[in-house]
Chain A
Amino acid sequence: AQSVSQHNHHVILSEAASLELGCNYSYGGTVNLFWYVQYPGQHLQLLLKYFSGDPLVKGIKGFEAEFIKSKFSFNLRKPSVQWSDTAEYFCAVMNTGFQKLVFGTGTRLLVSP
């Protein structure tokens, strides 16, 4: 069965620092990949997604993620974080042709001003 690992459970950064959150999945077939974000008190929102094509995907609010098939990875990056990026970030994987999303356990990011 598909599984998703997010290695960092808690990350604390100062404003303007660079961010990279790791995500690895287990299944080696064709997958769709997602990053969702949950800001404090808000519902889960899509940050970016990869279905096919260019493995470097750009999302909202300056986030990007790179799909590296050989490493089964889909790491999230942002060159300079802001206090408003404080949130919980979830990586999720869907095996193509199936509607089930498998989520990682999430990473809580705290950005100090």
Chain B
Amino acid sequence: DVKVTQSSRYLVKRTGEKVFLECVQDMDHENMFWYRQDPGLGLRLIYFSYDVKMKEKGDIPEGYSVSREKKERFSLILESASTNQTSMYLCASSSNRGSQETQYFGPGTRLLVL
């Protein structure tokens, strides 16, 4: 089974703090993704990565950055957290092998910025 883990289930941070969200997958997947999930808005893509040290902006990258130094790990960084970044953050991974482009999701990190 594919396993995607996220470093924290819940986080509380203050405005202006630097926040790191970590994601690890154990299936040697090439692709990794960060989404945020908000009620009534569904999932929106923040950043994704096709390979180590590669990153691409998603639909809402403003206020975020990412890092992928190892294949299994993809980090989301909030340089200076703001209250409008309070949300559920979901990490996902997928493989390029064959045509099985299914994305597998982690449990999510619920971030509250005060």
Contact = CB atoms under 8 A, between A and B. Distances in A.
The size class of the interface chain B forms with chain A is: 20 to 34
Contact of A99 (B94, B104, B106): B94
Contact of B42 (A43, A99, A105): A105
A99 B31 contact: yes
Nearest to B50: A99
Interface in B44-82: 44-45, 48, 50, 58
The size class of the interface chain A forms with chain B is: 20 to 34
Contact of B58 (A32, A34, A43, A100): A100
A9 B43 contact: no
Contact of B108 (A34, A43, A100): A43
B58 to A, nearest CB: 7
A6 B104 CA distance: 21
Contacts of B41: 105
Contact of B105 (A6, A43, A99, A100): A43
Contacts of A67: none
A27 interface: no
Interface string A76-102: 000000000000001010100001111
